[in-house]
Amino acid sequence: MFDRLNELPADKILALGAAFKADPRPEKIDLGVGVYKNPEGVTPIMRAVKAAEKRLWEEETTKAYVALAGDPAYADAMIALILGDAVTREHIAAIATPGGTGAVRQGFDLVKMANPDARVFVSDPTWPNHLSILKHMKMETIQYRYFDDETRGVDFGGMMEDLAQIRAGDIVLLHGCCHNPTGANLNMVEWKAVVEHLNAVGAIPMIDIAYQGFGDGLEQDAEATRFVAANCPEVLIAASCSKNFGIYRERTGLLMAVMQDASRNKITQGSLSYLNRQNYSFPPDHGAKLVTMVLTDEALRADWKKELEDTRLTMLELRQQLADELQRLTGSDRFGFIAQHRGMFSRLGTTPEMVEKLRADHAIYMVGDSRLNIAGLNQRTVPILAKAIVDCGI
């Protein structure tokens, strides 16, 4: 049987990490995988998470199963964090999932179960694993224009033109904030126009929100998701705690199904729990418990928010420093977009050959589509990157 398996393409983001590790050059800079690193190059365990972990170690008395949907207290805390008071609880079904990727996968699975004919519209570009998962699941996928290579902003006209093809029941995957890989985001006027269009057609938005708190702030980053949840008849929301709680390896995510017709909740919740059972049974609980403790304890929550905000501001400063440095070196504003983008990533908008040149000549690693992880930089390495960009003639 195994001889019938074909070699699969390596995940581009993860393969880059392996190539970086193998590079012996001491001055190498890793701007690949979306993991936050502090100025010392360390991905820290957040203070509040560490404190919760200690408390949990002392207080937890059993490792028996929790519930198929995960701990309801975790769902409640996360729903409040993401949706605020945009939608009341009886309109939301939710399951804990292994990370945000698990939530995305379960969301697609729910779509497939409810409507096998649904087509999924994704932004061009999007997180490559969205495409990979959809392909693996054999779901029809259509890309809509999103990024304007000239302005390095959103090509909103192109996006709406492409979304004119959607039909009732189709799914449109949107990034709640901090678009991955571009860093370019819709403004609220544009979000409203998208919602109006989807509602007019009867298409369903699915929001992937993996970077809440990394863009303009915890509340601001949730604004679009809250607006969509409050204004569309049905919405799927896949959330991740990997980045904003820094618990990448704990695999902590949540999938929400938001519906205006609350009478559908029991069956929807049952379907979500069923999908958990089929795919991996009980979702992991450790990270979910830490998140719940942090969000429901006043002191831990305040400390977490402070550390998250400091993280966000550090990334914004690095953006500004890089944009300023490039302005100084080139005498032009053409890299000003780096300071405008939000979240962990920006897309430089250069060719794979130039990305390769940065790697070969300067030991700077970024994803082939020229996505760079701002959090992989620090004040010392920003000028090195800026000079390399100019030296390569980008």
Cα 246 from chain centroid (whole Å): 13
Name the minimum Å distance from CB 209 to ligand LMR. 12
Task: Determine contact, residues 82/222, Cβ cutoff 8 Å.
Answer: yes
Burial track 243-276 (b if 16+ CB lie within 10 A, e otherwise): bbbbbbebbbbbbbbbbeeeeebeebbebbbebb
Q: Residue 126 CB, nearest distance to ligand LMR (Å)? A: 10
> Annotated catalytic residue: which of 48, 69, 210, 386?
210
Does the annotation mark 191 as catalytic?
no
127 is catalytic: yes
Contact with ligand LMR (CB under 6 A): which of 127, 144, 146, 335?
A: 127
Nearer to ligand LMR, 170 or 208 (CB): 208
| 180 near ligand LMR, rule: CB under 6 A | yes
Give the Cα separation of 294 and 305 in Å (integer): 10
CB of 212 to ligand LMR, least distance (A): 14
Rule CB under 6 A: is residue 237 a binding residue for ligand LMR? no
Residue with smaller CB distance to ligand LMR, 208 or 285: 208
Instruction: Dump the DSSP string for 58-105.
Output: HH--------TT--HHHHHHHHHHHHTTSS-GGGEEEEEESHHHHHHH
Sites for ligand LMR among residues 129-158 (CB under 6 A)? 129
Site membership for ligand LMR, residue 33 (CB under 6 A): yes
* 8 Å CB contact between 209 and 225: yes
Quick check: is 243 catalytic?
Answer: yes
Candidates 16, 20, 34, 370: give the one binding ligand LMR (CB under 6 A).
34
Closest listed residue to residue 342, CA positions, set 205, 133, 176: 176
Q: Shortest CA distance to 218 belongs to which of 296, 303, 315, 312?
A: 312
63 is catalytic: no
The answer to whether 168 and 202 have CB atoms below 8 angstroms apart is yes
Strands 253-259, 92-97: pairing is: antiparallel
Annotated catalytic residue, options 221, 243, 323, 386: 243
Looking up tokens 């995988």, which residue turns up? Answer: 33
Minimum separation from the CB atom of position 344 to ligand LMR (A): 8
Q: 80-119: which residues touch ligand LMR (CB under 6 A)?
A: none
Catalytic-role residue among 30, 109, 162, 208: 208
Catalytic residues: 127, 208, 210, 243
Please report, as ranges, the residues that interact with ligand LMR according to CB under 6 A.
13, 33-34, 127, 129, 180
